[in-house]
Amino acid sequence: MEGGFGSEFGAAGGGAGGKLDPGLIMEQVKVQIAVANAQELLQRMTDKCFRKCIGKPGSSLDNSEQKCIAMCMDRYMDAWNTVSRAYNSRLQRERANM
Partner 1 sequence: MEASSPAGLSATDPQLQHFIEVETQKQRFQQLVHQMTELCWEKCMDKPGPKLDSRAETCFVNCVERFIDTSQFILNRLEQTQKSKSAFSESLSD
Which position among 35, 44, 50, 66 is part of the footprint of partner 1 (CB under 8 A)? 44
Q: How many chain residues interact with partner 1 (CB under 8 A)?
A: 34
- 37, with CB counted inside 10 A (0-12, 13-18, 19+), is exposed
- 25, with CB counted inside 10 A (0-12, 13-18, 19+), is middle
Interface with partner 1 by CB under 8 A: which residues? 6, 9, 13, 20, 22, 25-26, 29-30, 33, 37, 40-41, 44, 48-49, 52, 68, 71-72, 74-76, 78-80, 82-84, 86-88, 90-91
